[in-house]
């Protein structure tokens, strides 16, 4: 899959959600949502972590930046939608680990997803 660098951050540039889902299951890496805040405020350690893994355009700010630097046909992939699709498709056969700012017990999170 193609990628571009914005302020030293490697951002993969999927043209569809299906393309991205196929790619991530063939390339086992940590998925990191990239938004305008990460582009503007990322320190060296975080930049290295993103560049060694898989940064994807989660916010419209990331998409606008990529388009401004000449990337065509890139789409925004909201993390919440991505994770819901991954879990719904693979919860019987895969394990998932999430990290976020908001506190919620994992069992509550899984129950919410499976009931929706």
Q: CA 34, CA 14: separation in Å to the nearest integer?
A: 13
Q: CA 50, CA 23: separation in Å to the nearest integer?
A: 16
pLDDT (tens digit, 0 to 9) for every residue of the chain, 116 residues total? 899 999 999 999 999 988 999 998 888 888 999 999 999 999 999 999 999 999 999 989 999 999 999 999 999 999 888 888 888 888 888 777 666 656 655 555 555 555 55
pLDDT for residue 101: 55
pLDDT for residue 106: 55
pLDDT for residue 8: 96
Q: Give the pTM.
A: 0.77
Which 3 state secondary structure label does DSSP give 39? helix
Q: CA 65, CA 77: separation in Å to the nearest integer?
A: 14
Show the domain range for 21.
Answer: 3-115
Q: State the total domains in the chain.
A: 1
């Amino acid at each position: 899959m193609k990628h571009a660098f914005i302020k030293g951050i490697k951002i993969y540039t999927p043209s569809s959600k299906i393309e991205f889902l196929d790619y991530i299951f063939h390339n086992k890496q940590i998925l990191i949502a990239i938004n305008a805040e990460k582009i503007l405020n990322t320190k060296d350690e975080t930049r290295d972590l993103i560049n060694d893994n898989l940064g994807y355009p989660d916010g419209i700010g990331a998409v606008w930046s990529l388009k401004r630097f000449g990337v065509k046909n890139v789409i925004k992939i909201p993390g919440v939608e991505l994770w819901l699709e991954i879990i719904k498709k693979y919860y019987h056969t895969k394990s998932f680990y999430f990290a976020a700012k908001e506190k919620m017990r994992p069992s509550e999170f899984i129950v919410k997803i499976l009931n929706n």
